[in-house]
Amino acid sequence: MKKTLLLNLMIFCVLNSGAQLMVSDFETFTLSPNSFYMDTTSTPFSTQNASFQHRYSKFGPTWYWTGGFAYTNVNDSANGSFLNLHGVKAFKGYNASSNYAVGQDRSMLHLLTRDTVHGFYLTNTTYAYKMILFGDTANAISRKFGDTTGTGSGTTIAQGAYPDYFKLTVKGFKNGLLSSDSVEFYLADYRFQNNVLDYVLDTWQWVNTSALGEVDSLKFWMYSSDVGQFGINTPLFFAIDNFTTKGVITGVKESKRADALKVYPLPFHNQLTVSFGNVISSDTELHITDLQGTQVFSSEINGSATTFDLSGLPAGLYVLEISNGQNNKRIKILKD
């Protein structure tokens, strides 16, 4: 209840400051029952405010989800094995919604415009939850949180009192540079003096990331105290829902008429329209670059609205820049 009240207060304050919250709850995606997004070409999927990295790789004859995010409606809070990578212990999405997304360690998402990410809901996948709570009894890889390695292990920590943790660290990028600021969230925490307070998250909890400020993209790192010879033993998966941004377009140097600019549709397929409130000066140019900074398209803009044929561009994320020599505006656009 307290989390909900805080979120409602935050939304009220943002709306009354002239901003417009944009919430991606993944409900616009169509899925068969108990299924998930899988694209072996590793094509990102896009919501109204972000493009979510998605990576599949082939090992032998089999394809595996090897990175990024996948949207899902899997309802499985029981199977705690690697065969259930897309279910959550909370059973459904936030507020019992149908869809949500799951992510892996070092996943990235790119905002379609530079923006402030107010936050999102997080919870544990069923796989991570069960491994933390019970350990990997079948393969003896992940240990039960709180446990030491057994009698004679050389530690003075009592059995069941080991200060384990499983956390997610979120950092933002701006102009391609990684910010030093970060937001940490514990998906499991056994570090309390009183072991009764130890927990493994099994509900959706709000995470406020507005302290990161305006960003181009976010990256998610996962950490665990259960580390073995080959790295972290805990399954490095998390679930996310209601990804919320401020919902305004910002630029490198803002024109006084910046709020008159409209670019649509986003994402686009072949045709992209750039519209202004009034006819603009004849020296205004449009440039499109890929994320490596290579220019892939350029054109002059001569009227209040111009539609461009971008059918020759491969699907992916690009940076669109409008410039008249004195002011410029940059936003990210996604071609599906």
* pLDDT for 7: 42
pLDDT digits (tens, 9 = 90+) for 169-196: 999 998 888 999 999 999 999 999 999 9
Beta bridge partners of residue 134, listed in sequence order: none
Is 6 a member of any domain? Answer: yes
Residues 223 and 115 in one domain: yes
Helix (H, G, I), strand (E, B) or coil at 145: coil
Per the CB < 8 A criterion, the answer to whether 243 and 120 are in contact is yes
Residues 169 and 283 in one domain: no
Is residue 287 scored above 80 in pLDDT?
A: yes
* pLDDT for 154: 66
Distance CA 192, CA 203 (A): 20
Among residues 206, 223, 245, which one ends one of the domains? 245
Q: How many CB atoms lie within 10 A of CB 53?
A: 20
Residues 88 and 208 in one domain: yes
The residue type of 101 is A
Instruction: Look up tokens 């072996």; give the residue.
Output: 40
pLDDT digits (tens, 9 = 90+) for 237-267: 999 999 999 875 443 333 344 446 778 887 8
Q: Are strands 262-264 and 295-300 parallel, antiparallel or unpaired?
A: unpaired
pLDDT digits (tens, 9 = 90+) for 1-26: 334 334 443 443 443 444 568 899 99
Is residue 59 scored above 70 in pLDDT?
A: yes
Among residues 245, 275, 290, which one ends one of the domains? 245
Range of the domain at 302: 258-335
- Report if pTM > 0.75: no
Residues 268 and 234 in one domain: no
Residues 192 and 279 in one domain: no
Tokens of 296: 């892939």
Tokens of 128: 């991570």
Is 87 a member of any domain? Answer: yes
Q: Which of the four pLDDT bands, split at 50, 70 and 90, describes residue 138?
A: confident
* pLDDT for 153: 64
* pLDDT for 259: 46
